Amino acid sequence: MQTECSAGQLAFGEVSGRRIVADFAGGTITSDAGALLLGAADRAIGLTERFACCFTDTRAAHLVEHDIRALVLQRVAGIALGYEDLVDHDHLRHDPVLAILAGKLDARRARCAPLAGKSTLNRLELSRAEPGRYHRIKHDPSAIEARFVDIFLDAHRAAPGQIVLDLDATDDPVLGHQEGRFFHGYYDRYCYLPLYIFCGRHLLASKLRPSNIDGAAGAREEVARIVGQIRRRWPRVRILLRADGGFCRETLMAWCEANRVDFLFGLARNARLVAEIAGELAAAEAESARTGRPARRYRDFRWLTRDSWSRARRVVGKAEWTNEAANPRFVVTSLSPAEARARHLYETIYCARGEMENRIKECQLDLFADRTSSGTMRANQLRLWFASMAYVLLCALRRIGLAHTQFATATCGTIRLKLLKMGAQVIRSVRRMRISMASACPWQYEFGLAHALLTNAAR
């Protein structure tokens, strides 16, 4: 017997003798069921609790529907799930999975959603260091900066023998008239110039800066803060500072030498440096002409500038001949030849610095760290920290829950696509909430393993 057609059904033709119809009567559905793993990762490292402690709420307690912890979790998890704009939360405020993460399935007051909308979250992003008449939430920038290093330290069961801190600056384009915007000649646009510091995949600092400054401006202060915090926990750890030529500054090198920190920086070439490796360049040119392939030689020597350096330092020059042209490069380091020979120093230790650029791309392309469209530097710095905390959360999920899977080295965008953006039916009863994901999901094993490992880490 032919069934009756529903007025709300949408017909999409016939396949294999069956009519294809669609409707919006599936009940409560979420497209972000994988966010449950974010909640498990958050419990494993205590990120939301730590981050929320950096804010002070002076709102009238009896009028507050959404507390600071829920606001912070909602914003960080939203970025991790791919929702870059606050306006997205006017729909997400009704999402049952995000409500589970926030620990609040129902609003306490009538006509309120379990989660906050864009207006309430905007008050969080526009919080100031001191509360005012219209700004009842304040944040402590120093405490937020310290949280990144604390989470990094807690990720290690024992102090490592040596760590490498990578520094880099990148452009953050601005399209409006934000405070602190300047035109940068190298990037050929108006932008900010944030400073990032990583240790492997761990993010230790994301400092928003105007672009009318030297690329190394403020780096010594950030490094001193981070190194001091690390050494209070790990007093004997050896630290190597690594960066490109933009950070090869006397002030930073002298600070490293005075504080038992090794360094390896790129060194901008000049005529005197190129002349120092002229013999190696000639040999590389002859080899390249003979073999038809690029050739390189290395030279290790002591170097002292005419007026900018306070002492002679070890420099390694790479004399490379490629594409029928010379390509000389230089690095300066505090490491001795006995610790690292010239070729190994350049090719293995220094070139590994490029991996940090992939981490910055994850932050900016996958987690919207360059979404700094607020009017003030203060608000944009807070936005950058929210995106950075989303990176830390996904990094914890990858490090703890996905270490033994094919996603152990996946980018944040891949993890979101494969494991977080899962459709599911949400069935609510008196005693439980059941999140029913697709039986044909290809990543069931990885999802289950991540759940087990994260649950064990949270105990």
pLDDT band at 1 (very low <50, low <70, confident <90, very high): very low
pLDDT tens-digit map of 207-220: 999 999 999 999 99
Domain ranges of the chain: 29-141+374-458, 155-366
pLDDT band at 19 (very low <50, low <70, confident <90, very high): very high
Give counts: helices (H), strands (E), the chain.
16, 19
Query: Is 5's pLDDT higher than 90?
Result: no
Two tokens, residue 289 = 């002409």
Mean of the per-residue pLDDT values of the chain: 93
Q: How far is CA 84 from CA 81, 145, 275, 381, in A?
A: 9, 22, 51, 15
pLDDT in tens, 174-190: 999 999 999 999 999 99
CB-CB neighbours of 273 under 10 Å: 18
Q: Report pLDDT for 132.
A: 66
Q: Is the pLDDT of residue 2 over 80?
A: no
What pLDDT does residue 131 have? 63
Cα separations (Å) of 39 from 32, 267, 319, 409, 455?
A: 12, 44, 51, 20, 10
Tokens of 158: 């024992």
Convert the pLDDT of each residue in 350-372 to its tens digit. 999 999 999 999 999 999 999 99
The DSSP bridge pattern shows strands 238-243 and 262-267 to be parallel
| Percentage of residues of the chain with pLDDT beyond 90 | 86
Q: What one-character DSSP code corresponds to residue 128?
A: B
Q: Which residues contact 260 (CB under 8 A, 6 or more apart)?
A: 239
pLDDT of 374 > 80? The answer is: yes
329 C-beta neighbours (distance < 10 Å), count: 19
Average pLDDT over residues 30-35: 95
Residue 27 binned pLDDT confidence (cut-offs 50, 70, 90): confident
pLDDT over threshold 60, residue 4? no
Look at strands 55-57 and 433-437 and give their pairing: unpaired
pLDDT more than 70, % of the chain = 97
- CA 366 to chain CA centroid, Å, is 9
pTM above 0.85, yes or no: yes
Q: State residue 341's pLDDT score.
A: 96
Q: Is there a contact between 236 and 160 (Cβ–Cβ < 8 Å)?
A: no
- Condensed to tens digits (0 to 9), the pLDDT of residues 150-171 reads 999 999 999 999 999 999 999 9
Mean pLDDT of 322-327: 91
Please check the confidence at residue 6 and state whether its pLDDT lies above 60.
no
